[in-house]
Amino acid sequence: MKTKSDNRPIGIFDSGIGGLTVASAIAKRMPNEQIIYFGDTAHLPYGDKSPDAIRTYSAGIFEFLKSKNCKAVVIACNTASAVATTTVRALAGKDILVINVIDPTSRYVASKFSKGKIGVIATKATVNSRIYAKRIEKRNENLKVTMLATPLLVSMIEEGFFNNNISQAIIDSYLSKSNLKDIDGLILGCTHFPLIKNEVQKYYKSHTEVIDSTEIVAEHTHHVLEKHGLLNQKSGGVHHFYVSDITPSFDASTKLFFGKKLKLEKKNLWV
């Protein structure tokens, strides 16, 4: 019996280039798949934008990815996942699969930890939504979830400013807050944060598990595509990376996020 193959691309979007951490994990997990990535660098960061603005930006990006014939769209942004998943799914209907980064991570944590206290560091919008607390505590009533907004970290990482004494001091200052005391696990609730995972782990040493959602999301995406018979069984096409604005720092930082230098194409959807 011939295995069904779907060579349409996977669309991935984020408020900036932090979602390239998810794109990289998906590319490694599914090397046959073509990726169309959109980073909304003109509106970075989403974390301090209104919910209405985030939904408007996300809807515009989805329509762009739809025009590229994407079979699935991964919302590789915790803030957009928290605020705009319902909006994007309404636009997608039954034609395009929509995957966010919060649901698979919440399921992982709820099953991995039988009880205890879980911390989350994220943007203000993600924290204000309390989405991780709602999702995890609903699945496991023996877990308590505490969330902390860390607004300086996204801009710091986008500028390539980490793995030094100053960034470690900023990270340590956030992690020392009282509501993150005595946690059993810490969710990196922003797709930029895998790049500071080592610094976060340095603070906790081996006492606390630091949870990076990128591989969890990549595995979940593979599972969903396989379940719906949408995997590409043949060699994939060329990846394309779009941003709504280009700065030298974004261009130079792509290697940090994706593992190799990428060619970014400017595409402003709001002109």
Q: Please tell me the distance from the alpha carbon of residue 33 to that of residue 237, in angstroms, as a whole number.
A: 7
Compute the CA torsion angle 9, 10, 11, 13 (nearest 10 deg): -140
Pick the catalytic residue: 36, 99, 190, 195? Answer: 190
Instruction: Answer yes or no: is 46 a known binding residue.
Output: yes
Burial classification of residue 217, based on how many CB atoms lie within 10 Å of its CB (0-12 exposed, 13-18 middle, 19 or more buried)? buried
Instruction: Answer yes or no: is 191 a known binding residue.
Output: yes
Pick the catalytic residue: 25, 26, 77, 122? Answer: 77
Is residue 136 within 8 Å of residue 213, measured between CB atoms? no
Active site residue 190: yes
Using DSSP's 3-state secondary structure scheme, residue 177 falls into coil
Q: Please tell me the distance from the alpha carbon of residue 133 to that of residue 97, in angstroms, as a whole number.
A: 25
Using DSSP's 3-state secondary structure scheme, residue 9 falls into coil
Instruction: Answer yes or no: is 79 a known binding residue.
Output: yes
Is residue 222 within 8 Å of residue 245, measured between CB atoms? no
Instruction: Answer yes or no: is 15 a known binding residue.
Output: yes
Instruction: Answer yes or no: is 192 a known binding residue.
Output: yes
- Element housing 18 (H / E): none
Is residue 78 within 8 Å of residue 191, measured between CB atoms? yes
Active site residue 70: no
**Binding residue numbers for substrate:** 14-15, 46-47, 78-79, 191-192
Binding-site residues? 14-15, 46-47, 78-79, 191-192
User: So which residues are the catalytic ones?
Assistant: 77, 190
